[in-house]
Amino acid sequence: MNYQMYQAQADIMDPLRAMARTSSSLLRTIMPSQPYGIGLRHINAALEVFGHAGTTHKRPPYAINKVMVGNSLVAVEDVVVSATPFASLVHFRKDSDRKQPKVLLVAPLSGHFATLLRSTVEALLQDHDVYITDWHNARDMPVEAGVFGFDEYVEHVIRFLEFLGPRSHVVGVCQPTVAVLAAVAVMAEDENPATPRSMTLMAGPIDTRRNPTRVNRLAKTKDISWFEDKMISVVPWRYKGAGRRVYPGFMQLSAFVSMNLDKHIGAHIRQFRSIASGDKAAANTHREFYDEYLAVMDLPAEFYLETVQRIFMDHELPRGELKYKGRPVRPERIKKTFVFTVEGERDDICGLGQTSAALDLCSSLRPLLKRHHVQTGVGHYGVFSGKRWANEIYPRVREVIQFSV
C-alpha cells in the first residue's frame, strides 16, 4: 500500500513539477535585469526549486567523457560488457593504448544508482582500467527473472572479477564491503586465478557491533518481521517488475533525508537564494547533486531483508557464521590479497572501527599486506566523493594497487 500511495502522489506531482520547470524556462527568457525585476526572480527561483524537488527512477548518465591519463586528455566511453537480469558490468573504455591495472568498483545496492560513484570513477580512471557493478532497478526486473538475495550479490561479484581475469583489483564502497570480503574469501579458498591482488573496503558495515550508529541501533530495536511488514511493498502493475516484492528506493531516500533534515532544508533555501541572486555556479552545483541524489532505485525484498538480518542483526561475518550458498565464508583463507580499509572520522552511517574489523578477520595476512586509513574531517560520502577523496584518500588507494601489481 505504501508504494501505491507514493505512486499516486507522484502521478499528481510530476506534471505540476514539469509545468514549474517549463514556466521557469519561459520566465528566464523575459526576466528583466533591472532591480525592479526582483519579484520575477523570486517567482522563478520558487518554480525552479519546486520543479527539481521530486524523485525519479531513471539512472542518470555517468557523463564521464574525458579524463587525464598522464599528460594527455583522452576520451572515455562507458560500455556494458557483461549483464544479467540484475546488473550490468560497465567498462569505462578509454581511447588510450596505455596498459593500466584493472579495477572492479563494487557499487552499493542501497537505493541509489551506481552513478552516485561518478567522482569515485573519475579519480580511479586516471591510473586504472575501471569497471563498475551497475545494479538494475528492481521495479524493472520481471518476477520471472527470479530472486536476488545476498548469495546472488556475492555470486555477481565473483562472476565480474572472473570477467576481469587474473591480477585485477576490487574496491567496495559502503554496503557491499561484506559481500566483497565474502567473495574474495571464497575465491581465495578455491584458489581461483581471478582472486584480486588487492581489496579496498571503504566505509562499510563489516562489524556493526563496533561503535554503532543510529542506523545500526535501529536494526537492533526491531525484529525482522517488523522490517518485512513496514518496509516491503509490491511493484505496481504498470512496471516491468509488477508483482515483485521490493524495498522501495523512496523509503530509503526518506530515511537518509530524515537523518540530516535541517541540512537538506538549508540546501534548498540556499538554492532559492542562489537562483534569485543569479549565482549560476552555486545553483548548478546544487542542481547536479540533487538530480543524482533524488534518482532512486528499488531493492529486491529478499536482498534487503537478508542484509538487515545477516549483517546488522546477527553479525554473521564477524561471528564466523556467514555462509555463501551453504558453505562457510572464511576470511582467514585470504593470504595473498592486499587488504586496505578506509573510514571517515565523521561517518554517521558506518562508525569508526566497523570497516577496519576486516583486517582482524583476515588473520592469515602478513602485516605487510594490511593497511588502514581514517580520513579526518569527512562523513560517509566524503570517503568516496569530494576533494578529500580525490586529494587524500585516492592517492593511498592508488599506492596500494601499485604495490600489489
What are the pLDDT digits (tens) for 189-247?
999 999 999 999 999 999 999 999 988 888 888 899 999 998 899 998 888 999 999 99
CA 146/CA 303 separation, integer angstroms: 12
Least reliable range by pLDDT among 35-49, 143-157, 316-330? 35-49
List, in sequence order, the alpha helices (H) in 139-245.
Answer: 150-164, 177-189, 214-221, 224-231
For the 66-217+299-404 domain, the top CATH level (class) is: alpha beta
Is residue 5's pLDDT more than 80? no
Q: What is the pLDDT of residues 367-399, one digit of tens each?
A: 999 999 999 999 999 999 999 999 999 999 999
| Helix axes of 261-277 and 38-51: crossing angle, nearest 10 degrees | 140
Query: What is the percent of the chain with per-residue pLDDT over 70, rounded to a whole number?
Result: 98
Q: Specify the higher pLDDT residue, 101 or 296.
A: 101
Can you tell me the distance from the alpha carbon of 142 to that of 153, in angstroms, rounded to the nearest whole number? 18
From residue 19, alpha-carbon distances to 15, 23, 367 in Å are 6, 6, 60
Q: How far apart are CA 210 and CA 212, in angstroms?
A: 6
Domain chopping of the chain, boundaries? 2-54+249-293, 66-217+299-404
User: d(Cα 144, Cα 367) in Å, to the nearest integer?
Assistant: 47
Q: Would you state the pLDDT for residue 402?
A: 96
The answer to whether residues 3 and 234 touch, using CB atoms and an 8 Å cutoff, is yes
123 pLDDT more than 70 = yes
Q: Cell numbers at residue 375, please? A: 580520513
pLDDT value of residue 34: 46
Taking the C-alpha atoms of residue 168 and residue 191, their distance in angstroms, rounded to an integer, is 15
End-to-end CA distance of the chain: 52
Mean pLDDT across the stretch 140-150? Answer: 95
- What is the pLDDT at residue 285? 83
Residue 264 or residue 355, greater confidence = 355
- Other Cβ atoms less than 10 A from the Cβ of 320: the count is 13
Q: What are the tens digits of pLDDT across the range 53-108?
A: 778 888 899 999 999 998 889 999 999 999 999 999 999 999 998 999 999 999 99
Per-residue pLDDT at 71: 86
* Geometric angle at alpha carbon 297, from 295 and 299, rounded to 5°: 160
Task: Indicate if the pLDDT at residue 35 is higher than 60.
Answer: no
Rounded to whole angstroms, the Cα distance separating 381 from 383 reads 5
Contact, 10 vs 18, CB < 8 A?
no
CA 53, distance to chain mean position in Å, is 21
